[in-house]
A and B are shown apart, each in its own frame.
Chain A
Amino acid sequence: GQQVMQIPQYQHVQEGEDFTTYCNSSTTLSNIQWYKQRPGGHPVFLIQLVKSGEVKKQKRLTFQFGEAKKNSSLHITATQTTDVGTYFCAGPTSGTYKYIFGTGTRLKVLA
């Protein structure tokens, strides 16, 4: 079945350093979503990418969808303590609206 993998699983960075998490799907995705979950909280939608090669920015966050629509990345510039949490990508199973989530990347930011 379809698999969505994320790397790394964990990342510790010093405040001010950059951070990147990568998402790879075993199948082509019609779109990809990113969510953030704060410790003890629930996933919160960040963004959706639809087009091949699409790049979207939200302040210090840059999201990219691969040309083949099988991978994606989230880059955070100059991390802050408020960026702490787990970042998930999610993609729909082919032909359905059933979203499969990646395993997540847990980010810790050291002040």
Chain B
Amino acid sequence: DAGITQSPRYKITETGRQVTLMCHQTWSHSYMFWYRQDLGHGLRLIYYSAAADITDKGEVPDGYVVSRSKTENFPLTLESATRSQTSVYFCASSEGQLIEAFFGQGTRLTVV
């Protein structure tokens, strides 16, 4: 089915482990984004990408790594998970600059 999908939907991991959240979109949108959502903070931008092999830091990039070798995929890696990274993570994509973004269903990550 066309759209933007995130996997896994739920993940529990231990402190210090590396974990990768996947994001895949079928629209061939150039722009992709990763946000985290925490109570009281709304949605905060972690990383974004304008095209394959082009990524840039957002508001809260520390502790995260992204890559974009293919237009349709934008994985987010937590190199060494910490409890403060417990959150709901949303991936989004957009066809162009300054137009609407489409969000995935989100991944609820718990770090214990």
Contacts and interface: CB of A to CB of B under 8 A. Distances in A.
B102 A45 contact: yes
A102 interface: yes
B111 interface: no
Interface residues of A, number: 22
Interface residues of B, number: 27
B44 interface: yes
B2 interface: no
A42 B99 contact: no
Nearest to B35: A101
A98 B102 contact: no
A30 B98 CA distance: 9
Interface of B: 31, 33, 35, 40-45, 48, 50, 56, 58-59, 90, 92, 94, 97-106
Interface of A: 1, 6, 30-31, 33, 41-45, 48, 88, 90, 92, 97-104
